Structure 1
Amino acid sequence: MRQAYYNGFIYTGKEILKHLAVLMDGYEVLDIVPESAIPEGFQRIDVQGNHIAPGLIDLQIYGGNGQLFSLYPDVSTILATEQYCKAGGALYFQPTIATNEPGLMQKALEAYRQYRDRGGKAAIGVHWEGPFINPQKRGAHVEKYIRPLQKDEAKQLTEHQDALRTLTLAPECCDAACVEILLQAGIRVSAGHSAASYEQARQAFTKTGIRLTTHLFNAMSPLQTRDPGLVGAIFEDPAVYASIIADGIHVHPANIRISKAIMGNRLFLITDAVEESKNEPYIYLRQKDRYVNQEGVLAGSTLTMLKAVAYCVQQVGIALDEALRMASWYPAKAMGMDQQAGLLQPGYHSGLIVFDDNFELLYRSV
């Protein structure tokens, strides 16, 4: 049934509107009209003064509802993660698999194809975080599975561009020609888990063409007095996007605020959320508001995308409309989806969420 959402603050992604209604058909935005002009045949949903926004987009999440993609890369895990994402306001997401043995990482791609072939639309493709990363910046990744990217494997990966949407790698550990093969095939390469020097990072951005970076500040070479590192190169390059984990644990709120002031619409939110696991190779133990591995290394968050938006508003001091863009339009732009998602605009398939002043989800597109 087509629905009309009215009597709320409408955050289109470009402006804030009142006294209007958003007309939806599933995920499709049909129109935004005066409340008095809601057509017949629409289910009228009075949101009672709450907030209406585009569906959020999570480009890095490892699982949800008790399932972990790095251990069980199958359709059931994608579906469980989808339900977790939607309950937290994210209507599109990238199931993410951490550095693993080759067969399991390939299985993740097959699982996505099966999900898609069965009609799944919320998952937009798989994010491989690794295995082509720097062991010095592995974080909670399993070292024995880390390996360099060879040219033959890069060519083989181009055959999976329908499923492999994003690949995080350390540019200093990969030949530029291999990275270019991936980029030319339409796979989005993201620099992360990297100890790249400033010069190496600049080369990767300006010469090789990398335009994405993974969880700013975490597992990357920092900004220092005599080496700006990967962080400095990200700040400086106006074409490079960066994700960030806004939970107060992964990154200090002042660093989020400083980064936002420098990067503007190039900074977007992810959850980096995992699930508790007692099984090798990825043992994740929950400690209140975070997950750690068996060695106590920070391994993931307990975030939802709506919680990340709330943190940015309440703790970082970012305006609500801008925090929502960081969770919708900006990740859409980073993925080349900004002509179809991330905005409440007629013709977009962004979906819609409604939440209250406490950032509790009230309604979402189905």
Structure 2
Amino acid sequence: MQLLQNQNIFLTTGLKEGQDISFENGLIKDVKPSSANFKSESKYILPGFIDLQIYGAAGKLFSADPTIGNIRIIEEQLLQEGTTSFLICLATNTPEVFNQCISVIKAYRSEARNCLGLHLEGPFINPEKRGAHVREYIRKASLDEIKSLLDFGDGTIKMMTLAPELQDDEVIQYLLDHDVVVSLGHSSATFDQATRAYNQGIQTTTHLFNAMSALQHRAPGIPTAVFNHPTAMASIIADGLHVDFEVVNVAAKVMKERLFIITDAVTECSSGPYQHVAVDGKFVMPDGTLSGSAMTMLQSIKNCVDRCDISLADAINMATYYPAKLMKMENEIGQLSLNAQANFVVLDEELNIAQVFYKGEEIKLNKAASI
């Protein structure tokens, strides 16, 4: 049994000071008020971050070179950054690349650590809202293709972004029936079409405001549909480049626990269809089109607090508890509660990473990370 005493701990309800947290065999055994008589250090313990959309890290873009060695490198880098759970994302690509990536994740899953599986962002999106996605690979799904894809995936495909206005209802329902989280994104759906999609069971929305019909006073679009819906969630990129900080502020006020953070992070790549170039703190395609972010989850939290007027407690939930709820994994990850995985980040008084624990084991940090 390991014990950290008299700590400042972020629970889903907010900060609790003077708490003991004990853990054993990779699981949290108890969180309770401390009886220790020493003064607590100025540190904070919070759940490990959950990133449901990231393409690569440490110079490894997974789709460009899908190998077990590279997913190991990505996992380790994300653990260094406090991300203890993530979905590796694939942008619209050829079936051959998708199959290669799926094969690697299937072969690796028995030894996987913080990689939960795959998020397929495309290819079943709307070419009008393709953003940095390659147009020639975009297509409409058939039910047979979806059945084959999920059969081949064998449970590794956890999330799929698609444009519901271009897909048959039976395709979407099949995904939902087979426990794939369906996210509305890269879509020109009208307010009515998006509302219908959410009512049919689509659970969430990919990078709110980016690559979708806009919120306009005579054409309310996807953002208004998700704002107005009682259960539909949305991810957002809090880098100030993909979405202005004031807009993140408004979205958080309206959506509350239905809005969560993703990094949408990529890494430099000079091969394949997605050649990301780092320019002034962001990534663009060779033609200048904005692509993924250069963010970490910790930096995203900092931006929410410092630039978007979101409380630290709420920002932490946006990076932990809310995405866990979307994935129906909130009893396992995303909160510091009895029998949840002992995945947590220790921040110092300046909100720098001091320690990272994954399933109760402390990760040896290469260097301090900060936000």
TM-score (structure 1 length as normaliser): 0.93
Does residue 299 (structure 1) correspond to residue 298 (structure 2)? The answer is no
* 2:17 matched residue in structure 1: 18
* 1:166 matched residue in structure 2: 159
Does residue 109 (structure 1) correspond to residue 102 (structure 2)? The answer is yes
Contact 1:161 1:186 in 2 (8 A): no
User: What is the percentage of aligned positions where both structures have the same residue?
Assistant: 38
* 1:66 matched residue in structure 2: 59
- Secondary structure of the structure 1 residue equivalent to 2:109: helix
Give the RMSD, CA atoms, in angstroms: 1.8
Distance 1:362 1:97, change over 3 A: same
* 2:355 matched residue in structure 1: 363
Q: Deviations over 1:266-315 (max 9, x none)?
A: 00000000000111211100013110000101111111111111110111
Aligned length: 357
Distance 1:268 1:26, change over 3 A: farther
Contact 2:320 2:335 in 1 (8 A): yes
Cα distance in structure 1, aligned partners of 2:146 and 2:272:
28
1:200 maps to a residue whose letter is Q
Match of 1:272 among 264, 268, 271: 264
Match of 1:179 among 172, 177, 191: 172
Cα distance in structure 1, aligned partners of 2:101 and 2:140:
20
Task: Give the CA deviation at 1:124.
Answer: 0.9
1:349 maps to a residue whose letter is Q
Moved more, 153-162 or 301-310: 153-162
1:174 maps to a residue whose letter is Q
- Secondary structure of the structure 2 residue equivalent to 1:106: helix
Task: Give the CA deviation at 1:161.
Answer: 4.9
Contact 1:223 1:232 in 2 (8 A): yes
What does residue range 200-219 of structure 1 map to in structure 2 within 5 Å? 200-206=193-199, 208-219=200-211
Distance 1:195 1:26, change over 3 A: farther
1:199 maps to a residue whose letter is D
Moved more, 71-80 or 311-320: 71-80
* 2:369 matched residue in structure 1: none
* 1:43 matched residue in structure 2: none
Match of 2:118 among 103, 126, 144: 126
2:93 maps to a residue whose letter is N
Contact 2:6 2:36 in 1 (8 A): no
Match of 1:287 among 269, 279, 283: 279
What does residue range 2-151 of structure 1 map to in structure 2 within 5 Å? 2-25=1-24, 27-36=26-35, 48-117=41-110, 119-151=111-143
2:66 maps to a residue whose letter is P
* 1:346 matched residue in structure 2: 338
Q: Deviations over 1:100-122 (max 9, x none)?
A: 110111221121122212x2131
Q: Deviations over 1:231-278 (max 9, x none)?
A: 111111111010000011111111111111111100000000000011
- Secondary structure of the structure 2 residue equivalent to 1:10: strand
Does residue 311 (structure 1) correspond to residue 311 (structure 2)? The answer is no
Distance 1:26 1:11, change over 3 A: farther
Q: Which runs of 5 or more structure 1 residues have no equivalent in the other structure?
A: 39-45
Cα distance in structure 2, aligned partners of 1:317 and 1:185:
38
Q: Deviations over 1:333-365 (max 9, x none)?
A: 111111211111111115111012433211011
- Secondary structure of the structure 1 residue equivalent to 2:73: helix
* 1:42 matched residue in structure 2: none
- Secondary structure of the structure 2 residue equivalent to 1:110: helix
* 2:366 matched residue in structure 1: none
Cα distance in structure 2, aligned partners of 1:70 and 1:364:
27
1:295 maps to a residue whose letter is D
Cα distance in structure 2, aligned partners of 1:172 and 1:350:
41
Moved more, 99-108 or 3-12: 3-12
Contact 1:133 1:148 in 2 (8 A): yes
Contact 2:47 2:320 in 1 (8 A): yes
Q: Which runs of 5 or more structure 2 residues have no equivalent in the other structure?
A: 362-371
1:93 maps to a residue whose letter is F
Contact 2:75 2:113 in 1 (8 A): no
Distance 1:302 1:116, change over 3 A: same
- Secondary structure of the structure 1 residue equivalent to 2:116: coil
Cα distance in structure 2, aligned partners of 1:263 and 1:35:
35
Contact 1:27 1:352 in 2 (8 A): no
Distance 1:8 1:284, change over 3 A: same
Does residue 321 (structure 1) correspond to residue 320 (structure 2)? The answer is no
- Secondary structure of the structure 2 residue equivalent to 1:306: helix
